[in-house]
Amino acid sequence: MKVIVDTSVWSLVFRRTEAPRSIFADLLLDLITDERVVLMGAIRQEILSGIKYQEQYEALKLKLRAFPDLAIDSYHYELAAQYYNDCRKNGLQGSNTDFLICACSNIFNYPILTTDKDFSYFSKDLDIKLFEYE
């Protein structure tokens, strides 16, 4: 099964070189090896945003080109907006990208690999799957 890998995991692996190797690095490597990684354009944008040095940006951009973007259309964005509205009514806040990830998880039936605790809250109200590990 394919897995949507959230920005938080990519960031741990690619952008934080001073951090000790985590379980997420091993999980991501396994998913890449098994060709199970799903990358969304919005996640690609988040990963590449805020990089101070052009050389680092270019190197990371080239690495990420190995992963095609998941094809999404208006239906995905509409469901993401509905999820945003539903969660907001229940007192949950999230970013547009977070809810787009949730919509794609639901539509494609792909679990989400993330370190972001917000997704565990979203999963209580939304029909999404989180990637289970340990």
pTM: 0.92
Q: What are the phi and psi torsion angles at 5 (to 5°)?
A: -100, 115
Q: Which comes out higher in pLDDT, residue 47 or 13?
A: 47
Average pLDDT of 44-68?
Answer: 95
Per-residue model confidence (pLDDT) at position 19: 55
Residue 53 has pLDDT above 70, yes or no: yes
Per-residue model confidence (pLDDT) at position 21: 67
Per-residue pLDDT tens over the stretch 9-25? 999 887 555 556 688 98
Please, what is the Cα angle at 118 between 68 and 92, to 5 degrees? 120
Per-residue pLDDT tens over the stretch 67-96? 999 999 999 999 999 999 999 999 999 999
* Structural domains of the chain, with CATH: 1-134 (3.40.50.1010)
